[in-house]
Amino acid sequence: MKEKDSIAAESSKTDIRAVPDPEVPEKAVRRKFTAAYKLRIVKEAQTCTTSAIFSERIELPLVLP
């Protein structure tokens, strides 16, 4: 009986070590946009007449470049 308990304890220890380190990296990697991309976004924003149209046109390309 003791042998089963020690085997179970050992397997639970290895499971704990298998979990990835949850620590956040020191500095996040920022996305970089070209000047041409930024200019295109500004031009598209200027053609929008309402904020709803602006959201439809602008938000998706920023999320999925």
Angle at the Cα of 55 from the Cα atoms of 38 and 47, rounded to 5 degrees: 60
pTM of the predicted structure, to 2 decimals: 0.41
Q: Which residue has the higher pLDDT, 63 or 40?
A: 40
Helix axes 51-63, 35-47, angle to 10 degrees: 160
Tokens of 30: 């920022």
C-alpha to C-alpha distance for 27 and 20, rounded to whole angstroms: 18
Nearest to 65 by CA among 28, 33, 43: 33
pLDDT tens-place string over residues 32-52: 889 998 898 888 888 877 877
pLDDT reading at 10 higher than 60: no
Q: Which residue has the higher pLDDT, 29 or 60?
A: 29
